[in-house]
Structure 1
Amino acid sequence: MPEHAGVNRRGVLAAAATTAAAGAIVPGTAGAAAASPGAAPPPGRPATAQPPGRELRALLKEIDPDRIEEIVRALASFGTRHTLSSQDDPARGIGAARDWIHARMKEYAAASGGRMTVESQSYVQRPASRIPVPTRITNIVATLRGSVAPERVYVVSGHYDSRATDVMDADSDAPGADDDASGVAVVMELARVMARRRTAATIVFAAVAGEEQGLYGARYMAGRFKEAGTDVQAMFTNDIVGSSTADDGTRDPYTVRLFAEGVPTAETEEQAAVRQSVGGENDSPSRQLARFVRDVASNGATGMDIRVVHRRDRYLRGGDHIAFLEQGYPAARFTEPAEDFAHQHQDVRVEGGKQYGDLPEFCDFAYIARVARVNGAVLWTLAQAPGTPTGARILTSELTNSTELVWDRGDEPDLAGYEVVWRETTEPEWTHVIEVGDTTRHTVDLSKDNVFFGVRAVNRAGNRSPVAFPVPSR
């Protein structure tokens, strides 16, 4: 396709008026048939939706609720996993949990043919908020190295430390089944299933410590990545994903919330000025990541609906994804649809014939398995697709009613080309897709003043990257 191939404005707008609600794909040239990258999405799904392929479906079927239950019960059996609890007791405390996770991850890595390595990422935290004495904090990190683009990294985490009602109580039982053995179980089960497979990019499976005391483990890990210049293109934390039952007894077993920030935590003054001049408050890298999650995981293969929440996290609280946002990495948090505060962060006790505490008995292991499938669909597709396009810009040197987009070409050997996406500024999801071929420049006969544009990469297998939101450039 020629580099300056355009789309007729009148034809596009007419098509939008009659077919946008059905998720129609806009043609790449005026008068052409609809450019369909696979089957058109069903009504109610974004135009950018990606159906799962055969290999992904096979992977998701291997995720086992029984293995997830085994992990949750094993972690709860250590009594407490408080960051300040014993590090050398073989049966109780955070040290025992650390060693158990490390040993199990090593078992998974043994099946990888050398592609997966496991490390204990450890440092001594000096006295600080909620850390009264020097304390060793250890993350267990399993890295599945990509075979095509190993420098491109995707991270999934859960925190294995727990707490009682008193955040400084390192002695009382704090089984932490939902918060957050459930998230660690998601990470470990994905590491088991993916260890035997080859990915194009690198996936990091992390069980981190120090979250309840102040995100210490995650901040150390994110800082290490930043110092090394690691290209972390997405990070997800799974924190409190163990139950679909709210504190009033209502259930929502097929929904998981995904918290994704708008204005980036690490936004510079220059970036803020650009955003304020053109909009894009709903187009941060984390919001594009959230759209990608819905594109690949809101389907029959996962059995789940992803409820995207346009906030960094819940009121008064924060998860390990914040540590990555602080370093400028795209990140988001998975959590259950409604928390049961009667059991969360409660000391284990019986009152009025009722048992309280964050115990495995209050977890829904089939639900955790479905959350793991959501994560699996997202991570697998990210790791097999091209990376998010870089250098995406809208050229603004001239006043015109068309839009010229440019971007940098990726270096993936299986790169097939690119797609331009667009939507009305009031739409939350991308509504139109234009195939533009293997080029780094495209002109659309629509005004950049009226709609939002984006660019995504496509490989020969049909896997699409997350969307890159272009910035103005003269």
Structure 2
Amino acid sequence: MRRFTLIPTVLALAAVTPALSQPNTNAALLEEIRQDVSADRIEKDIRTLVGFGTRHTLSETESDTRGIGAARRWVYEEFKRISDDCDGCLQVYYQSDFIEGEKRIPARTEVVNVIAVQRGNVDPGRYVIMSGDIDSRVSDVMDYKSDSPGANDNASGLAGTIEAARVLSKHKFAGSIVYAGLSGEEQGLFGGKIMAAAAKKGGWRITGVLNNDMIGNIEGINGVINNTTARVFMEGTRMNESADDARMRRFTGGEVDSPSRNLGRYVHKIAERYIPNLDVMMIYRLDRFGRGGHHRPFNDLGYPGVRIMETNENYNRQHQNLRTENGIRYGDVIEGVNFDYAAKLTSLNALTMAALSKAPAPPAKVTIEGAVSPNTTLKWQAADKREKNLLAGYKIYWRLTDESTWTNSRYVGNVDEYTLENIVIDNYFFGVASVSKDGFESPVVFPGPAGSFYPGESGAE
């Protein structure tokens, strides 16, 4: 076992390592990716999706010009075109299941997702997923005949996902990236349930799901017009936490350090460092109050997932029949989408996925000890053979317990145990991140099962 312990004065000198230059070593790539995202292409894709008239899950599937069938075939062909441009770098396929007997899908209906996978060249079994929804709706969730443009909800998120595929497919990554067009969201999150179940069956190690649902509106129902902020919703404790894990968390912490929360902090950090004029509001809630989105089915199975979306919603433009009443225009039409803002949030996703996929996997089996001691010791499992050539070492983070982001860090090298001298365990929260040789970091992993990124891993073992 490789161990490292230094007193604080020596640590200040020892921390001068190549890994500390990471903002400079990876900034050029991330800036190239950011500048490659095109508001014009996003606008074109949103207009195409709106042009299908309705994309309701129960709508027409045989027509080539109207309904969800035509829409999903267009998404499939668009992913195929992107794959052709990168010499077949995307695996594009339909993923579906039949749903019936549900309140919003009473008759047998095939719910179809469109998936494009860009395989990693180091650890292809590790995934980060960006999703947008294909389907749309009007006031009556069962009305599949009326025009339902769904320009912002959620052609914006789907167009952003397609654009991210165009941009990131030009580059190589250690981990795999998945671009997903999900269906059945308005009828009960069925597309996400289908994909999450398939991921679990396939043994996917998911580092993060970035669900993009409404990323194009800047004019709120409250009168606020703002294109400089975005919201990230991220749940706390895992839905499937065991009773033993809950008891452990009660005494050691972790309520605000689930993998979803630390994925959200990662998104926040990307925005802060690399996206000009964008502040991320981290919201400690699964989703908007009493509402849901397509990251939830992944959260339900223990996977890290967050929702990225606009800050100011306009309810006159959501789930509304197209009409004008008392001088107010209702409906989710193209005029309600700000394409530059949608491009900004698409960039946030693309940079987050690029950084996650360039970085090594998050540390596994992180543990912590230091009760009744002036020192705090963290341990973790050394990187497996897939990632040894990618890994430079590890970085320990800590923060005061009432702080929302990681405020202190120390690069500790390629070790699997480290003691922080004279930093008392009772006063801080701690975590560990993996660092690649070119300076990309994984999300921070909180010690114990509460913070473990991959279901089945546990720092308690």
TM-score above 0.5, yes or no = yes
Q: Is the 2:2–2:417 Cα contact (8 Å) retained in structure 1?
A: no
Instruction: Give the 3 Å change call, closer, same or farther, for CA 213–51 of structure 1 in structure 2.
Output: farther
Kept in 2: contact 1:455–1:468 (CA 8 A): yes
Partner of 1:195: 169
One-letter code of the match for 2:349?
N
1:453 maps to a residue whose letter is F
Aligned to 2:453: none
C-alpha change, 1:6 and 1:38, in structure 2 (3 Å) is closer
User: Does the CA-based 8 Å contact 2:368-2:376 persist in structure 1?
Assistant: yes
For residues 443 and 133 of structure 1, what CA distance do their matches in structure 2 show? 60
1:266-295 CA distance string (max 9 Å, x none): 212121111111122111101111111112
Structure 1 residue 434: Cα displacement:
1.2
The 8 Å contact of residues 120 and 138 in structure 1, kept in 2 or not, is answered as yes
Matched position secondary structure for 1:449: helix
Letter in 1 for 2:89: R
* Alignment match, 2:379: 406
* Cα deviation, residue 87, structure 1: 0.9
What TM-score results when the alignment is normalised by the length of structure 1?
0.90
Aligned partner of 1:419 among 376, 387, 395: 395
Show the counterpart of 2:101: 127
Distance 1:432 1:35 in 2: 15
Looking at structure 1, the residues matched to 180 and 34 of structure 2 have their Cα atoms a distance apart, in angstroms, of 20
Determine the C-alpha separation between the residues in 2 that align with 1:350 and 1:30.
66
Which residue pairs with 2:140 in the alignment? 166
* Mapped partners of 2:20, 2:356: distance in 1: 20
Q: Is the 8 A contact 2:216 2:338 kept in 1?
A: yes
**What amino acid sits opposite 1:96 in the alignment?**
A
Q: Is the CA contact (8 Å cut-off) linking 1:51 and 1:296 kept in structure 2?
A: no
Q: What pairs up with 1:245-264 in 2 under 5 angstroms?
A: 245-264=219-238
Question: Does structure 2 retain, via aligned residues, the 8 Å contact 1:82–1:170?
Answer: yes
- Give the Cα–Cα distance (whole angstroms) in 2 for the partners of residues 256 and 31 of structure 1: 36
* Separation (CA, whole Å) in 2 of partners of 1:38 and 1:303: 27
1:295-335 Cα offsets, whole Å, 9 max, x none, are 22223545411111111001121000001001110000011
1:228-239 map, 5 Å: 228-239=202-213
Aligned to 1:298: 272
Q: Distance in 1 between matches of 2:43 and 2:208?
A: 27
- Alignment of structure 1 residues 269-418 onto 2, 5 Å: 269-352=243-326, 354-395=328-369, 399-411=372-384, 412=387, 413-418=389-394
TM-score of the pair, normalised by structure 2: 0.92
Q: How much has 1:356 moved relative to structure 2?
A: 2.0
Once the two structures are TM-superposed, the CA of residue 35 in structure 1 deviates from its matched residue by 4.2
Indicate how the Cα distance of structure 1 residues 50 and 244 shifts in structure 2: closer, same or farther if over 3 A, else same: farther
1:451 has 2:428 as partner: yes
Aligned position for 1:3:
3
1:440 to 416, 420, 431: 416
Aligned match of 1:217: 191
Unaligned runs of 5+ residues in structure 2 are: 449-458
Question: Take 1:2 and 1:125, find their aligned partners in 2: how far apart are those partners?
Answer: 52
Q: Is the 1:112–1:197 contact (alpha carbons within 8 Å) kept by the matching residues of 2?
A: no
Letter matched to residue 6 of structure 2: G
Classify the secondary structure of the residue corresponding to 1:97: helix
C-alpha separation between the residues in 1 aligned to 2:23 and 2:268?
Answer: 7
SS in 1 for 2:315: coil
SS in 2 for 1:342: helix
Paired residues, what number? 447
- Matched to 2:267, the amino acid is V
Deviation at 1:361, TM superposition (A): 0.8
Asked if structure 2 preserves the Cα contact closer than 8 Å seen for 1:387 and 1:457, the reply is: yes
Deviates more, 1:352-361 or 1:190-199: 352-361
Q: 1:32: Cα distance to partner?
A: 2.6
Kindly indicate whether the alpha-carbon contact (under 8 Å) linking 1:7 and 1:443 is maintained by their aligned counterparts in 2.
Answer: no
Q: CA deviation at 1:380?
A: 0.4
* Counterpart pick for 2:62 among 88, 91, 95: 88
| 2:443 equivalent in structure 1 | 466
Letter aligned with residue 330 of structure 1: P
Change (3 A) 1:77 1:2: closer
- In the alignment, the residues of structure 1 paired with residue 24 and residue 308 of structure 2 have an alpha-carbon distance, to the nearest angstrom, of 20
Contact 2:19 2:392 survives alignment (8 Å): no
1:106 aligns with 2:80: yes
Counterpart code for 1:461: D
Shift of 1:399: 4.2
- 1:290–1:332: 8 Å Cα contact kept in structure 2? yes
Q: Which amino acid aligns with 2:97?
A: Y
Distance 1:434 1:285 in 2: 20
Between the two proteins, what is the percent identity of the paired residues? 38
Residue of structure 2 equivalent to 1:32: 13
SS of the aligned residue for 2:209 comes to: strand
Encode CA deviations 1:396-438: one digit per residue, 9 max, x unaligned: 6x74221111101113112111111111112211111112111
In 2: Cα distance, 1:86 partner to 1:94 partner: 6
Mapped to 1, the partners of 2:79 and 2:232 lie a distance apart of 26
Cα–Cα, structure 1 residues 342 and 459, in superposed 2: closer, same or farther, change >3 Å?
same
Give 2:454's aligned residue: none
> How far off its partner does 1:7 sit?
3.5
Query: Cα RMSD between the aligned structures?
Result: 2.1
1:186 aligns with 2:167: no
1:211 Cα deviation from its structure 2 partner: 0.2
Partner SS state of residue 280, structure 2: strand
Question: Letter of the aligned partner of 2:305 in structure 1?
Answer: A
